[in-house]
Structure 1
Amino acid sequence: MCRLPARALLVALLLSACASPSPEFFGASKTAVTIDGRAFTVFRRDNRVQVIRHGYAAPAAQRGIPEQMLRAVAEATGCRPLGDSFIGDSGERRGRISC
């Protein structure tokens, strides 16, 4: 059994509470997803989504994050993300889905 130090547990809890949607997604459905060990929160309103990455990502790891974000959207919604519609960076992106 793995035990985290109290400080690490507190930091993890605080980071998990940081996913707040942009105003256009207030009241949207919220789904937590883990892709390749990286945590994301996906907010969905109709055919629009916002995906937020949790935790630190080293510069070398950021290249693959947009694809992980699209996979997180697909898993959270069961719909196909329209990749060309997504704007943002490796921390937060918004776009459309097709169901």
Structure 2
Amino acid sequence: MLANGCGFIGGFGRMGGYNMMGGGWLMMLVPVLLIGLAIYAFMKMSQNNSTNNTGNTSNTNVNNSDALNILNKRYAQGDISEEEYIKKKNILKD
């Protein structure tokens, strides 16, 4: 009588496994989706940061162009020898 009156048969309660919101599994779906969305956003931001720091080829080209301009200026001013200029210029072009 106690088990039947309190709804503990099978552990589901009086509504046969459903609460007033339509089911316990539905209430668990919301936090799982939020956690998944947070993980997705974190991974997407991490990928964007790593691409901007290491894989952006247009940024690398700008840096090489700037370095080549500085090298040309140093050679023109006589700060470095012709041999050093040619050596560093070949390194920058690779």
Q: TM-score, normalised by structure 1?
A: 0.20
| More helix as a share of residues | 2
* Higher RCO (C-alpha 8 Å, min separation 6): 1
TM-score, normalization: structure 2? 0.21
More strand by share: 1
